Amino acid sequence: MLTHTFDNARNPARVVILGANGFVPRALDAALRAGGLSTLAVGRSTIDLTATDAPARLSALLCPDDVVVMTAALTPEKGRDVGTLIKNLRMVETLSAAVKAGTCAHIIYISSDAVYSFADPVISERTPPAPADLYGIMHLAREMTLRETAEKAGIPFCILRSCAIYGFGDTHNSYGPNRFIRTALERGVIQVFGAGEETRDHVFIGDVVSIIKSVAERCSVGLMNLVGGQSISFGLLADTVASILNSNIAVESLPRSGPITHRSFDVDRMRMDLPEHRPTSIDTGILLTIGAFRKSAEMGRSRS
């Protein structure tokens, strides 16, 4: 459900990334710079997007030909309460006020599959949002706010709803590939809830960066689910990590804290909208992530 303003890719004049220290913004900034693109990563040390003076300060930074990628957010491990919700909404309020005062060329919002209900086991872009918690409500509210702002200002707007992202550089240590790889390398153990029956889709960070770049280069408008396209169980993920490490990794079972749920995605729209994109398989993504972990550890030892 994307419409490409440009038939052929064009390098943006500059990509302004709101969020500088998170998993996605760091990887995106590094990849764009490596590709010769001009970027500006705006972190909290530069502008606190929840501050009262933030709209004016952000507006002063923006140029009319900037592509703005909104990744800044307080994620669930930072809090799931109303206070966290309000702070997240203030960040988008700041962006909305800033682009009204000093426009930009394109806005890309990195949202979450948390806007969907687990009552829908197979998700597509046509699936109606039905968030079950404040985190999902926050992302849906931010989407709606930015969509309205962009429409009124005549700015092309794109929403990318991401499933769980994995890869080296992750800052969340969320349940799944990232945590499994860390604990396997550090302690020789992987812990899953129950038998790890739940199925989920996980998208490799390299694919996330590639898709955002493609959307920016073609000034894409609309909505797309940013996913890997392969839903597998946590148990199989754990076995895959252990197998690739080829060592005595113990897979342990933890008591369940909730019901078993499943989720997968219909990726027909992604294939149609971005036919050049080739998703990284979960085996390849885990292999690359483990390699990056090991390389980082080797560099650390060489410096000590």
Answer whether residue 57 is part of any domain.
yes
- pLDDT tier for residue 5 given thresholds of 50, 70 and 90: very high
Answer whether residue 270 is part of any domain.
no
Q: Are residues 181 and 60 in the same domain?
A: no
Q: Are residues 128 and 241 in the same domain?
A: no
In sequence order, the 6+-apart residues with CB closer than 8 A to the CB of 97 are 55, 59
Answer whether residue 38 is part of any domain.
yes
The DSSP 8-state label assigned to residue 175 in this structure reads T
Q: Are residues 286 and 182 in the same domain?
A: yes
Q: Tokens representing 278?
A: 């080739």
Tell me how many domains the chain contains. Answer: 2
Beta bridge pairs of residue 70: 18, 109
Q: Are the C-beta atoms of 113 and 123 separated by less than 8 Å?
A: yes
Q: What is the mean pLDDT of residues 198-207?
A: 96
Q: Is the pLDDT of residue 301 over 70?
A: no
Whole-number percent of the chain with pLDDT over 90? 86
Q: What is the mean pLDDT of residues 221-248?
A: 94
Q: Is the pLDDT of residue 63 over 80?
A: yes
Task: Report the pLDDT value the prediction gives residue 296, as an integer from 0 to 100.
Answer: 80
Q: Are residues 92 and 54 in the same domain?
A: yes
Of 93, 73, 203, 204, nearest to 139 by C-alpha is 73
Q: Are residues 14 and 34 in the same domain?
A: yes
Q: What is the mean pLDDT of residues 249-258?
A: 92
Q: What is the mean pLDDT of residues 18-42?
A: 95
Q: What is the mean pLDDT of residues 4-9?
A: 94
pLDDT tens digits, one per residue of 140-149: 999 999 999 9
Answer whether residue 271 is part of any domain.
no
Burial of 264 (0-12, 13-18, 19+ CB in 10 A): middle
For residues 67 and 119, which has the higher predicted lDDT (pLDDT)? 67
Q: Are residues 217 and 94 in the same domain?
A: yes
Answer whether residue 15 is part of any domain.
yes
CA torsion sign, 63 to 104 to 116 to 81?
A: positive
Of 66, 16, 17, 72, nearest to 49 by C-alpha is 72
Task: Report the pLDDT value the prediction gives residue 125, as an integer from 0 to 100.
Answer: 96
Task: Report the pLDDT value the prediction gives residue 300, as an integer from 0 to 100.
Answer: 66
Task: Report the pLDDT value the prediction gives residue 303, as an integer from 0 to 100.
Answer: 67
Cα–Cα distance for residue pair 41/31, rounded to 1 Å: 12
Task: Report the pLDDT value the prediction gives residue 77, as an integer from 0 to 100.
Answer: 77
| Domain of 118, in residue numbers | 2-165+205-226
Q: Is the pLDDT of residue 96 over 90?
A: yes
The CATH number given to whatever domain includes residue 57 is 3.40.50.720
Answer whether residue 273 is part of any domain.
no
Q: Is the pLDDT of residue 172 over 90?
A: no
Q: Are residues 28 and 58 in the same domain?
A: yes
The structure's pTM equals: 0.94
Beta bridge pairs of residue 36: none
The CATH number given to whatever domain includes residue 245 is 3.90.25.10
Q: Are residues 159 and 287 in the same domain?
A: no
Q: Is the pLDDT of residue 255 over 70?
A: yes
Q: Are residues 59 and 180 in the same domain?
A: no
Q: Tokens representing 204?
A: 């490799």
Answer whether residue 58 is part of any domain.
yes
Q: Is the pLDDT of residue 297 over 80?
A: no
CB neighbours of residue 59 within 10 Å: 18
Q: Are residues 245 and 215 in the same domain?
A: no
What CA–CA distances, in Å, run from 294 to 43, 168, 182? 28, 10, 11
Q: What is the mean pLDDT of residues 94-119?
A: 93
Q: Are residues 145 and 250 in the same domain?
A: no
Answer whether residue 101 is part of any domain.
yes
Residue that the structure tokens 């599959």 belong to:
113
Whole-number percent of the chain with pLDDT over 70? 97
Q: Tokens representing 227?
A: 């996913």
Task: Report the pLDDT value the prediction gives residue 268, as an integer from 0 to 100.
Answer: 94
What CA–CA distances, in Å, run from 29 to 73, 86, 206, 293? 17, 27, 12, 20
From 30-39, 103-112, 292-301, the region with the lowest mean pLDDT: 292-301
First vs last C-alpha separation in the chain: 50
Q: Are residues 89 and 115 in the same domain?
A: yes
Cα–Cα distance for residue pair 56/58, rounded to 1 Å: 6
